[in-house]
């Protein structure tokens, strides 16, 4: 590499010699840098994920279950209806689980009622006679052994007024029509 070849505007040979020496030094330094960079790259390749290579350190924990919305269950019927509610017990991770014995249901507030079904896993939530809300507490024993681990859920039953769905027309008795008057 000759940076100054053909660019010698000065006739001073000392100046030209000095420039050529600088050029040789720059070429030598560049070659040294290139050689050292190649050595570093090869060392990094050879080390793989060794101690000298940048890396991440991780800390994991504590483990917590996924959060799922479970409470309350909200249902709506008219004051003339009821609705069947069935429980499907789940683990914290959302997988199916068993319960020990039948569910227990109680009214927390409101005028609605309920009837636990023979299967022990469902109940009829029966609406109020007038529009309003009923809150029901549903409980079960999650411990399948001798102990008792109570799990609970809530149902809010919204009872709304029943709207007319047809006019309910009815025909009466047949009668003679009025006689038309002459003009």
Domain ranges for the chain: 1-56, 73-160
Average pLDDT, the chain: 82
pLDDT at position 8 over 50: no
More confident residue, 79 or 22: 79
Q: Can you read off the two tokens belonging to residue 17?
A: 């010699």
What's 96's DSSP letter? B
- The model's pTM is 0.56
Is the peptide bond preceding residue 72 cis, with omega within 30 degrees of 0? yes
Per the CATH hierarchy, to which homologous superfamily does domain 73-160 belong? Immunoglobulins (2.60.40.10)
pLDDT value of residue 181: 80
Q: Can you read off the two tokens belonging to residue 2?
A: 């000759």
């Amino acid at each position: 590499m000759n940076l100054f070849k053909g660019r010698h505007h000065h006739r001073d040979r000392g100046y030209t010699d000095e420039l050529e020496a600088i050029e040789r030094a720059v070429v030598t330094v560049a070659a040294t840098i290139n050689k050292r960079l190649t050595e570093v790259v090869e060392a990094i390749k050879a080390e793989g994920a060794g101690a000298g290579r940048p890396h991440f350190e991780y800390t994991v924990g504590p483990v917590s279950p996924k959060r799922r919305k479970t409470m309350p269950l909200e249902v709506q019927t008219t004051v003339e209806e009821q609705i069947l509610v069935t429980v499907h017990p789940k683990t914290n991770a959302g997988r199916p689980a068993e319960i020990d014995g039948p569910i227990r249901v109680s009214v927390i507030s409101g005028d609605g009622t309920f009837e636990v079904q023979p299967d022990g896993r469902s109940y009829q939530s029966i609406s109020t006679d007038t529009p309003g809300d009923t809150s029901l507490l549903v409980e079960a024993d999650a411990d399948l052994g001798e102990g008792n681990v109570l799990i609970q859920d809530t149902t809010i039953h919204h009872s709304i007024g029943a709207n007319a769905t047809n006019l309910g027309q009815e025909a009466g008795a047949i009668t003679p029509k009025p006689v038309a008057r002459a003009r």
